[in-house]
Every structure is written in C-alpha cells, then in structure tokens.
Amino acid sequence: TALGGKRVAIAEEFRVGGTCVVRGCVPKKFMVMASEVSHALEIAEGYGWSFDSAKFDWPTFLEAKDVEIARLSGIYAANLGKAGVDLIHGRAVLKDAHTVEIAGKGEDGGPLVITAEKILIATGGRPWVPADLPGVEHAITSEEAFHLPELPKRILIAGGGYIAVEFAGIFAGLGVETTLIYRGPNILRGFDDDVRAHLAGEIEKRGIKVILGCQHTSLEKTATGIVNHLENGMALETDVVMFATGRVPHVKDLGLETAGVALNDDGAIKVDAFSKTTADNIWAIGDVTDRMNLTPVAIREAVAFHETVWRDTPTAFDYEAVATAVFSQPPVGVVGLSESEARHVCKGEVDVYVARFRPMKYAFTGSDERVLMKLVVDATSQKVVGVHIVGPEAPEMIQLAAIAVKAGLTKAQWDATCAVHPTMAEELVTLKEKQSPTTSAG
C-alpha cells in the first residue's frame, strides 16, 4: 500500500516526469539558460571583460541536459517507489469504468488487467500541427527541438504563443538566424496589449525577425533546406521549421468512451470543478482537461483531487490570479487581469500605472532594451488586479507580486511597502503617475 494506506498503481508509457520534466518546462529552461549566456557576454564586454574565443558547443549542452533530465526522471520514479506506488511501464487503456489493460505487461507477455475502485487520468497533451498544410511533415515540433542532432543555422518558427516565443528566443540567443511567423496581429494573444507590443519590439532587438499577420501556404524540401512558402508571397529557406501552433489533450485510444468518460467540445476530458469526469469513479487533471495548462496548476488540481476524494473535503482549485511566466528573452511575468480584461471585469474605472526604463545592468552596453512594468488597479476598490512585467527576472518578480494580488492588496498597500534600492522591482512600489486613458492600450 502507498503512503495514504491505499493500493496505488501508475501506468506510464514513456519516462516518469511528464511533459514538464521530460519535454517541457525543465529542459526548455535549461535551453533558455544556455541561450541567455550570449547576452550576458555582451553585457560583460561593456563592463570590461573580453572573451576572445567564446563559443558554444551544442552536443556538449545536449548531453549535460539529457543527463540532468534522466537524473530528475529517476528521482520521480524513486519517490513513487518510496511512497509505495506500483509503477508499470506500459500504456493503459480503459476497458470499462473500473478496468485498465496494459499491453504486454501480464504473465507470458499478454495484457496485464488491473481493476481499480477509482481511476485518475493525467495523460497530458501533445503538439498539434495543421495536418492539411502541404509539406508540414518536414516541420518539427517542440518535442524534436529538444534533440536536434545539430544546431541549425537558420530556423523558422510558426506560432505566437508561449512555445513559439520561448523557442525563438532560445535559438536566436544561440546564434541561429531566427524568424517567427504568426497569423495574428501580434504575438501572445490573450496577454495585455502593452506586454505584447513591448515584447514584440524587444525580441526584434535581440535579432528575431517577426512576421505578423501571415501563415504558410506550403513547405518544400530542397537539397539545401526547407523553403517556407508564405501567404505574403515570400519564399524563405531555413534549415529547420518548427511548428508551435498549440497543443491538444492526449485522449486518443485511451478507451474513454468504453468507460463512460466524455469529452467537451474542444476535445478535452470534461470535468466538474472537482475534476470528476462523466464517469462516477474517474477523475482527470492537468493538460488532458485543457483548463489552465501549467504544471503548478496541475499539481494543485491533484492536491484538490486528493482532498476531495480521499479526505472527504471537497476542494476545487481556484484559478484566479495564477501567475505565469513566458521564458522569452527578455522574459514576461504576469498575474491577474490584463487592462482590457479589467475594463470588462471591474465595471467601473480602471487605473493603469506604467513604467518603461532601461535596466541599470545595461548602462555600459549599447543596448536600448527597456523593461516594462504595468499595474492594473480596480479604481473602485483600489485593489491591484493585474501586474505585468517584461524584463530580466520578470518570472522571479511575478511570483512575489502574485502573493499581493492573490491577497487582494490595494495600490496604497503596495505603495506603503518601502522600496529595495537599487533594483528593478522597486518600480512596483513607486509608481505614482496614472496613465491617462487616451494613451492606454485597450
């Protein structure tokens, strides 16, 4: 029996750790950190350092990263063992609401059949690409980007969401000629408009070519690379093309129908506020339910499931004021409402405070990069309902700002907090001038 006194088994067809550890957040962040070094070197030169033979070796990095990912995955597997969980390496398929079959894992190599009182589905998501686009089979997704046999000289990334923007930064920082193409008017749809505009400008300063309002018409493999034929008539050859056009819940061939587990209109497992599916004894959490596709959210959904189902304390995770970070270069940190969301939600007036400044760190460099900090305040209650930061260390800052937003503190309470000087974050407690409504982005 496991820690809670229950008999628990987990079926995992690949490596333990899931998207986050194996092909998401964790290896991505290592890639970002490898990439950011080039920028740090540029800054260092302004401070008097010189690096005559600085060079980056992709295979060395890949190996170090893979060793670390294997170590982390091993720790997760070991922790399951310590907790008393049976880990079965195989693919689980539901046969009915209480029966799971795992091919090849039974005696004599037949299927292993397990019955369970309760079942939890956490199969995550998979990259999605427009399958009807001619030549799309020549493109990779983020999954392959973690294992490219060599660093390309030229890459084109399609999409304007988290993954597209993060990988564009990674490759550009590593010296790859990088083009980002996005169908909409600006990257990061759903984020605050000032953040979107600011980031688009900043990533161009870092050398990424951004093409907006445009899509592929086809991809064509040639002897020297892949030609991207675009709607605007351009034909752009690159060595690698990566599609980051979204992810879809991983529900295929799980036997959901047989078990009475229904999907919603978007193809995700339909769940109630307590993560219960349409089958009475089956729950689902994480990306497979497509609620808020972030690792810490999935963990909270798991905790709420445990409280609800095993501790008799019905608990629904509260999705309000969940902070998030985009590990672009520079990165973005956001918590709460964008200005336009706030104008809808806070029926009354919204106060907006914006600061744009050059980080002190760049004083000796030729860089004209700017940091953006923006507070969105409900004018009636004076609560700070949104914080938006684009700039170095934004993800670290937003975690702390999120405490104040989650606690519902007012602008006056933020201002009563004394600054830490000299920092970038001190701007957050010293913003005095309200932005006039005419200049604020909608």
CA dihedral 163, 164, 166, 172 (to 10 degrees): 150
Can you tell me which of 17, 124, 160, 333 binds ligand NDP, judged by CB under 6 A? 160
Using rule CB under 6 A, residue 164 touches ligand NDP: yes
Of residues 162 and 171, the one with the C-beta less far from ligand NDP: 162
**Which residue in this structure is represented by tokens 């990566």?**
242
Of residues 295 and 410, the one with the C-beta less far from ligand NDP: 295
Interface stretch with ligand NDP, choices 93-101, 154-162, 346-354, 376-384 (CB under 6 A): 154-162
Region 383-412 residues binding ligand NDP, contact defined as CB under 6 A = none
- Shortest distance, position 109 Cβ to ligand NDP, whole Å: 37
Residues linked to residue 373 through DSSP beta bridges, in sequence order: 355, 389
Q: What whole-number distance in Å separates Cα of residue 68 and Cα of residue 62?
A: 10
Q: What whole-number distance in Å separates Cα of residue 266 and Cα of residue 56?
A: 42
What are the tokens at 133?
Answer: 């686009």
Q: What whole-number distance in Å separates Cα of residue 56 and Cα of residue 175?
A: 9
Using rule CB under 6 A, residue 294 touches ligand NDP: yes
Can you tell me which of 156, 203, 298, 325 binds ligand NDP, judged by CB under 6 A? 325
Using rule CB under 6 A, residue 218 touches ligand NDP: no
Residue positions annotated with a catalytic role: 421
Using rule CB under 6 A, residue 130 touches ligand NDP: yes
Using rule CB under 6 A, residue 327 touches ligand NDP: yes
Using rule CB under 6 A, residue 189 touches ligand NDP: yes
Using rule CB under 6 A, residue 161 touches ligand NDP: yes
CB atoms within 10 A of CB 247: 21
Using rule CB under 6 A, residue 285 touches ligand NDP: no
Region 241-260 residues binding ligand NDP, contact defined as CB under 6 A = 244-247
Can you tell me which of 35, 228, 275, 293 binds ligand NDP, judged by CB under 6 A? 293
Of residues 327 and 353, the one with the C-beta less far from ligand NDP: 327
* DSSP string for 369-404: --EEEEEEEETTT-BEEEEEEESTTHHHHHHHHHHH
Q: What whole-number distance in Å separates Cα of residue 157 and Cα of residue 168?
A: 7
Contacts (Cβ under 8 Å, ≥6 apart) of 109:
none
Can you tell me which of 99, 324, 382, 430 binds ligand NDP, judged by CB under 6 A? 324
- Shortest distance, position 168 Cβ to ligand NDP, whole Å: 11
Q: Compute the radius of gyration of the chain from its Cα atoms.
A: 24
* Omega before residue 330 within 30° of 0, cis: yes
What are the tokens at 85?
Answer: 């969980």
Of residues 81 and 184, the one with the C-beta less far from ligand NDP: 184
**DSSP element (H, E) containing 406:** helix 394-406
What is the contact surface with ligand NDP in residues (CB under 6 A)? 130, 158-164, 166, 182-184, 189, 215, 244-247, 293-294, 324-327
